[in-house]
Homo-oligomer: A and B are copies of this chain.
Amino acid sequence: MDFQHNERTQQLIKKVKKFIDEKIRPFETQYFKEIHKRNNGHDWTKWSVSSEIENLKQQAKAEGLWNLFLPDTEHGQGLSALEYAPLAEEMGKSFLAPEIFNCNAPDTGNMEVLHKYGTAEQKAQWLTPLLNGEIRSAFCMTEPDVASSDATNMQATAIIEGDEIVINGTKWWSSGIGHPNCKVIIFMGLSDANANRHSQHSMVLVPVDTKGVTIERMLPVFGEYDEPYGHGEVSFTNVRVPIANLILGKGRGFEIAQGRLGPGRIHHCMRCIGAAEYVLKLLIERSISRVAFGKPIINLGGNRERIADFRIAIDQARLLTFFAAWKLDTLGALGAMTEISAIKVVAPNVLQQVCDEAIQIHGGAGVSHDFPFTGFFSIARCIRIADGPDAVHRGLITRMELLKYPNVGK
């Protein structure tokens, strides 16, 4: 057992950190100020991409800080989940960093899917420009009319008719679909209601500009629209794409989804942990600097205890996520199920709580745009729902636990 990252990872951590501190951080405060001033809100037709972001992406690519998430050695950097985890943590400290290093969800998951399951044509058409950061993508799974925490509830259809797939239904929480560069959707829908429960759904590539695809609206998260990414509600009306757009095969949607979710959850959680560290840093700085009732705020009431509790909670969440990544690397997604579900519960909750307390310490400033707390809070709040809500993951952990007791109660 050894808790030290290997040499290469240590070097990458330093480089990512330095890039964020020196290049991204100074830019992003101003950037968000302008976005808020522009006040485009839900009107995504006015959203644009900052040229400085494209510029920073080029720099990141030049420094080799590019597609770090992809385990593949040819297109990515050959990093294991455990090696990439601390880099994701660093990226989580900034809202922009994930895009700038081309490690942004849902593009990362989509790239993994294409890399792992895509045909040569699919890869040429979509994976290459995604890996180059030239286009973005969306993932359409969640639906407004059913409890999507149970993914088998999905009702939107992807029916194979001859050499075409016909798509109908409404999806929402399609993150990133508002981005001007978003060109392709991975759509998951019902293709055979009579197959067994986990073989009914298929994944299909749908270009955003296909006839019948309509972005109905952008959805706010606590009032924010997350420009220029956005979370869209998208209707599909008799959308037709060639059967060549089917990924892996009919009814294999869940199989793909499983492979996609393990690494994605580790990325999300590590970013939450990074964000929690950053928010804790701001919390501490403020609580040392501001004075009330004759003392720095940090010395009032239980504030010092809360800081200790956050230090403990963050460190525990990080170790558990590293452990999950290590199990994923060594035992595969199935062998890491308990741990991946565990971090999915733990990490966003820790971030949410640190944000809540940072708001409390900052007073009114904390709920405004003057600080990043409501932004990080919203990320945490959404992750607690997305990719399976807390309750589903708790349920899965117990199900796994009970496998250790095959004969009890029989």
Q: Which residues of chain B are near A385, meaning CB under 8 Å?
A: 359-360, 363-364, 366-367
Q: Which residues of chain B are near A5, meaning CB under 8 Å?
A: 1
* Beta-carbon nearest neighbor of A373 in chain B: B222
* Beta-carbon nearest neighbor of A4 in chain B: B1
B307:A304 contact, CB within 8 angstroms: no
* Beta-carbon nearest neighbor of A297 in chain B: B147
Q: Is the interface of A mostly helix, strand, loop or mixed?
A: helix
A285:B408 contact, CB within 8 angstroms: yes
Give 1 or 0 for each of A367-400: 1 = CB within 8 Å of chain B CB.
1110000100110011011100111011101100
Q: How many angstroms between the C-alpha atoms of A305 and B305 in the bound complex?
A: 11
Q: Which residues of chain B are near A381, meaning CB under 8 Å?
A: 356, 359, 367
Give 1 or 0 for each of A340-360: 1 = CB within 8 Å of chain B CB.
001001100000000010011
Q: Which of the residues B220, B291, B374, B408 comes within 8 Å of A289, measured between beta carbons?
A: B408
Number of interface residues of A (CB under 8 A): 99
- Number of copies of chain A assembled together: 4
Q: How many angstroms between the C-alpha atoms of A144 and B220 in the bound complex?
A: 28
* Beta-carbon nearest neighbor of A390 in chain B: B360
Is A73 located at the chain interface by the 8 A CB criterion? no
Q: Which of A36-44, A57-65, A185-193, A208-216 contacts B (4 or more CB under 8 A)?
A: A36-44
Q: Which residues of chain B are near A1, meaning CB under 8 Å?
A: 2-6, 9, 82, 322, 326
A305:B311 contact, CB within 8 angstroms: no
